[in-house]
Structure 1
Amino acid sequence: MKQKIRIGCGAGFSGDRIEPAMILAEKGNIDYLVLECLAERTIALAQKRKMQDPNKGYDPLLEKRMSKLLPLLVKNNIRLITNMGAANPIAGAKKVLEISQKLGLKVKIAAITGDDLSDELRHSNHSYKILENEKFLSDYEVLSANAYIGVDGILEALQSEAQIIITGRVADPSLFLAPMIHEFAWKSNDLLGKGTVIGHLLECAGQITGGYFADPIKKPVPDLAHLGHPFADVFSDGTAIISKVDGTGGQVNLATVKEQLLYEVINPNEYFTPDVIADFTTVYLKDLGNNQVQIFGGTGKEKPTTYKVSVGYKAFYLGEGEISYAGQNAVERAKLAGEIIEERLKNVVNEIKIDYVGLQSVHRTNFENQSVPYEIRLRVAAKTDSAEVAAIVGEEVEALYTNGPAGGGGVRKYVNEVIGIVSVLVDRQNVSPEITFFES
């Protein structure tokens, strides 16, 4: 049994940069690379793509990421764990298989499924109560439903020696906890709690190395343009050291680690995951210098009897329109334009919001000494029940060119179907991960 492993996080969301993951794979001397690319709306939108094409539904950047990473992963014997399978891990795994064959690389790929409960909840007679508002799921037009499953499927894939593991909706810390359990044979809840703390610290990638943390006045971070992503040296006793590859931008210190530790944690005494209920209140940090922070502590207790399920539903259509006004009386003209739009749309849309945005959107010049803004951008947004009505919002803004105040310009208009997200709980006995293997 190993005493230490190194896990790198190469992505913290679907649209993250690819370069930091490549640096980790090439220069990080890592054993595992995790790409965490899912969020609640991300998977709901992936379900929409899958409904339109059964061969889609995986992460849009999967092909681009894997084409660049696969040669490095094979060369350096690194195992990849990623939730880029999104709504369709099987199709995602097949795409990786196709890429590996084109590149002439031999890899074993595992696709983890079982989290997708869309059909069950869409047609269920059970009265699931919404966690956020205590309404019932039957009141919603369900688009997707994915349970936050844990380490179980990933562990089985690791034991089968799969090098590339592609999942759907796995809880973020579980992606990192699974290799710790696999390598160290952890069983106690206290160790699972410690591992969950480490996974939580890593899961947002560049946030812990100074991205999102940075403020040029209060919290300056060096070389953000070349921000490196983190890795953790994890030891069998549940301690870890967070760091980054030498020569990359950003920083790892007590402040960056503390902010990430608190990120999205509502109750630090009981941080619920599918694998353990972790206690963050016993965590200790020590700055070792040279972009290294040591992590001690964290405990846990028995995992919950339910899985949280993220449910995407059809919420509304959003119509938007934008127009800019610059020069003398720019604010007054923008406000008049807003009043015109409100009057014309008051009996057409369900809800309308008028914003007056920005100071430099037209001339890109700093006019801080002006007593009033020299330029302003009017943004109109409205909720509607149909795409056709939503389109009227942008059309009315565009009509301001000749039917509104003087000097309007730079119109843009948009129509989007908005996917709402709510959550329910399901009995974990009704959810079981499944594994499908592919080999090139």
Structure 2
Amino acid sequence: MKTVRIGSGAGFAGDRIEPAVELAEKGELDYLAFECLAERTIALAQQEKMHDPSAGYDGMLVRRLKAVLPAARAKGTKIITNMGAANPKAAAEAAQRVAREMGLKGLRIAAVTGDDVLDLILQGDYRLDGDGRPVSELGNKLVSANAYTGIEGIVDALEQGADIVITGRAADPVLFLAPLVHEFGWARDDWSALGRGTLVGHLLECAAQVTGGYFADPGVKDVPDMLHIGYPLAEVRADGGAVITKVAGSGGVVSTATCTEQLLYEVHDPSTYFQPDVVADFSKVTFTHDGPDRVVIDGAAGAKRTGLLKVSVGYVDGWIGEGQISYAGPAAEERGRLAIDLVEQRLAALGPKVLESRGELIGVNSVLPGNVSQAPPREVRVRFAARCESREDAQRIGEEVESLYLNGPYGGGGVTKQAREVVAIASTFIPETLVSQTVTMLES
């Protein structure tokens, strides 16, 4: 039975490059996918594009391609990525420049567009999931609206002979499902096959999370050689059955436990995992150990897709002002609490338009409520942050923290401060029939 080997070269925008190079050189891959988009990532990319029409794609695209293209080209490995973010065409042009600079002639590079639906949702009566507000109420605060698209654009690009496919906001598992549909010729209504392929994509999409990253817990769940952790690959059969593994000799671990944790990652209901192309059912998935760092996956199913596409909506939601200061030595926690009290009272007296605020002691109560330890901490880091309506009010937050140097408890030091615009994320849904994907092909 035909087998396709597909690897995961990245699980988020800032992921490491070296493991992807290892996959390209030693993984004997047919495809290498880079999943680099989060909800907020694309909204920020849209902001960049507003200021510079040639920007808006992943800042690490060029570095990643320069690192993996030599091996990928030599071994015939095709690359699929959503690093196009808000500007897939500009990303494809950047990839074309990289290929030409490296002397890699004849590479076909596809840009898949169509996920940007900002104008479309402004014209319709769409409401935000959660609070039910009309999208139109966001007005000029609206930054972006990108639909989670399905496989069609990528499959189309591969059928046109693309060596590199660059998309915007495709759904994460789609980067892996699309080449499987292309290779095996799965029907668009073969829900079982699509569900199985979606399982493969879901397990691979976060890269090191299935090889021991975000899994390690020393003394409880030990992961060998995390310094050189390898990224995963799947050996996928035409019936959708697969083995999850990694390059021999690379660090990390692939086990039934790592696969189980990744299976449940960001899945609300394993029996009903909504995707653009299928409603996947992971409720009967099984993982079977098949030798060192090899896990057989089976049992995924699927049902007819909903006909709706989720849309990630980005909008400006004020400004965050923040200041931090450290206290060490006897009564460090008490001095830190006094510092927070002083900032709160001074901001109340000055009257900046604070929408919400939070003061915390890192290492004491910044993540967990109450005190983490009963023993008095020898040092604390005060963090005070507030969301404000304007940049000026947000800047005042850090200024008040900085003033603690001479207007607060003794021994404060190491102040940092910042003010940044907040891009909030919400969701809505639109009929899939309103979204059309287009492939633009370039050649090096």
TM-score, normalization by structure 1: 0.96
Unmatched runs of 5 consecutive residues or more in structure 1: 360-367
The aligned counterpart of 2:367 is none
What secondary structure does 1:172 align onto?
coil
In 2, Cα distance between equivalents of 1:228 and 1:38: 21
Choose which of 412, 432, 435 in structure 2 pairs with 1:408.
Answer: 412
Choose which of 352, 355, 358 in structure 1 pairs with 2:360.
Answer: 355
In 1, Cα distance between equivalents of 2:308 and 2:240: 26
What secondary structure does 1:309 align onto?
strand
The aligned counterpart of 1:42 is 41
Choose which of 135, 138, 147 in structure 2 pairs with 1:137.
Answer: 135
The aligned counterpart of 1:373 is 377
In 1, Cα distance between equivalents of 2:439 and 2:374: 63
In 2, Cα distance between equivalents of 1:286 and 1:351: 49
Q: Which amino acid in 2 is paired with 1:70?
A: L
Choose which of 381, 388, 392 in structure 2 pairs with 1:384.
Answer: 388
The aligned counterpart of 2:442 is 438
The aligned counterpart of 1:148 is 148
Q: Which amino acid in 2 is paired with 1:76?
A: K
Question: Per-residue CA shift, 1:100-142, capped at 9, x if unaligned?
Answer: 1111102000000000012333x42x22111122222123221
Q: Does residue 203 of structure 1 match 2:205?
A: yes
CA shift for structure 1 position 370: 8.4
Alignment map for 1:22-41 (pairs within 5 Å): 22-41=21-40
In 1, Cα distance between equivalents of 2:89 and 2:137: 31
What secondary structure does 1:256 align onto?
helix
Question: Per-residue CA shift, 1:139-196, capped at 9, x if unaligned?
Answer: 3221000000010011111111110000000001111011111111111111111111
In 1, Cα distance between equivalents of 2:27 and 2:411: 55
The aligned counterpart of 2:159 is 159
The aligned counterpart of 1:273 is 275
The aligned counterpart of 1:181 is 181
CA shift for structure 1 position 304: 1.6
The alignment's C-alpha RMSD in Å is 1.3
Alignment map for 1:232-381 (pairs within 5 Å): 232-346=234-348, 347-348=351-352, 349-358=354-363, 371-381=375-385
In 1, Cα distance between equivalents of 2:411 and 2:129: 48
Q: Which moved more, 1:277-286 or 1:199-208?
A: 277-286
Question: Per-residue CA shift, 1:198-252, capped at 9, x if unaligned?
Answer: 1101100000000001111211111111110000000011100000001111000
Q: Does residue 14 of structure 1 match 2:13?
A: yes
Question: Per-residue CA shift, 1:304-330, capped at 9, x if unaligned?
Answer: 211110000101200000001111111
CA shift for structure 1 position 282: 2.0
In 1, Cα distance between equivalents of 2:269 and 2:128: 20
In 1, Cα distance between equivalents of 2:249 and 2:71: 19
CA shift for structure 1 position 358: 2.4
Question: Per-residue CA shift, 1:54-90, capped at 9, x if unaligned?
Answer: 0000001001111111111111110000000000000
What secondary structure does 2:258 align onto?
helix
In 1, Cα distance between equivalents of 2:23 and 2:133: 45
Q: Does residue 423 of structure 1 match 2:427?
A: yes
The aligned counterpart of 1:171 is 171
What secondary structure does 1:350 align onto?
strand
Unmatched runs of 5 consecutive residues or more in structure 2: 365-371
Q: Which amino acid in 1 is paired with 2:361?
A: Y
Q: Which amino acid in 2 is paired with 1:282?
A: K
1:371–1:127: structure 2 CA closer, same or farther, 3 Å change rule?
Answer: same
CA shift for structure 1 position 369: 9.8
In 2, Cα distance between equivalents of 1:207 and 1:133: 32
Question: Per-residue CA shift, 1:253-291, capped at 9, x if unaligned?
Answer: 010000001111101111110110111112111011210
CA shift for structure 1 position 297: 1.6
In 2, Cα distance between equivalents of 1:278 and 1:298: 7
Q: Which amino acid in 2 is paired with 1:435?
A: V
The aligned counterpart of 1:83 is 82
What secondary structure does 1:104 align onto?
coil
In 2, Cα distance between equivalents of 1:371 and 1:284: 45
In 1, Cα distance between equivalents of 2:161 and 2:22: 24
CA shift for structure 1 position 302: 1.1
In 1, Cα distance between equivalents of 2:92 and 2:125: 35
The aligned counterpart of 1:365 is none
In 2, Cα distance between equivalents of 1:330 and 1:39: 38
Q: Which moved more, 1:135-144 or 1:377-386?
A: 135-144
CA shift for structure 1 position 41: 0.3
Question: Per-residue CA shift, 1:9-53, capped at 9, x if unaligned?
Answer: 010000000011100000111110000000100100100110010
CA shift for structure 1 position 371: 2.8
What secondary structure does 2:312 align onto?
strand
In 1, Cα distance between equivalents of 2:118 and 2:2: 41
In 2, Cα distance between equivalents of 1:427 and 1:144: 18
Q: Does residue 193 of structure 1 match 2:191?
A: no
The aligned counterpart of 1:128 is 126
What secondary structure does 2:154 align onto?
helix
In 1, Cα distance between equivalents of 2:394 and 2:179: 47
What secondary structure does 1:112 align onto?
strand
The aligned counterpart of 2:100 is 101
Q: Which amino acid in 1 is paired with 2:412?
A: G
CA shift for structure 1 position 352: 1.4
In 2, Cα distance between equivalents of 1:314 and 1:67: 35
CA shift for structure 1 position 416: 1.1
Q: Which amino acid in 1 is paired with 2:6?
A: I
What secondary structure does 2:173 align onto?
helix
In 2, Cα distance between equivalents of 1:351 and 1:296: 47
In 2, Cα distance between equivalents of 1:181 and 1:310: 25
